[in-house]
Amino acid sequence: MDNARFVDQLQRGGEALGLSLGEGVAPGLQRLMAELLKWNAKVNLTAITAPEEVLEKHFLDSLAVLPEVEGAASLLDLGAGAGFPGLPLKLARPALAVTLVDAVGKKVGFLKAAIAALGLKEARGLHLRAEGDPEREGIPRAELLIARAFMDLPDWLALAPAYVRPGGRVVAMLGKAQPESELAARASERGLRVVSSRQYRLPFSGAERQVAVFSQA
């Protein structure tokens, strides 16, 4: 994918998702894609390797939750894998302090290399396992906690509150949409409430997505 096509696809996809992306986002994402594909040739970071799919299913899928992230000063991405959604969100909102946590060393190695290559400030990758005790684990609490396909929703809502600062929010990026009643029931079981939920489709494949935001009840 050449630069012009990348920028065109990013712009079209962003517009379809109703996003406002600054001029510096495309070059950062191009550099991130280059790093990802270079590393992935040696280390299995992602099964998605076609540039068009990386753009849609990693980058645009990550950026789609910008409305839920707006206003937060700090973001914690648990189970960050190869950096999604945390790295694209950081590129789109440079002032956001981002911590990316994963239990797999090779993935954290990539996160650290990508952060350095992109020259990102207030971004770091941590090789840690989140088990519900952030003080012991050395994982900082954040204003906004996010995960994309990290674990099933009930398990995520059981784990997540420990990592959120008082008054903060928990964001779950889901695949196929769950009914509002199901979201509310799962939240209530954990002493949480649903702040918002939104369904959308990825702009080129039409794949279904849902993002739900929770807070302390």
Annotated binding site for S-adenosyl-L-methionine: 79, 84, 130-131, 148
Torsion of CA 60, 63, 68, 74, to 10 degrees: 150
Query: Helices 105-118 and 25-40, interaxial angle, to 10°?
Result: 140
Question: How are beta strands 208-216 and 192-201 bridged, if at all?
Answer: antiparallel
Beta bridge partners of 208: 201
On whether the CB atoms of residues 64 and 200 are closer than 8 A, the answer is: yes
The terminus-to-terminus CA distance of the chain in angstroms comes to 46
Annotated binding site: 79, 84, 130-131, 148
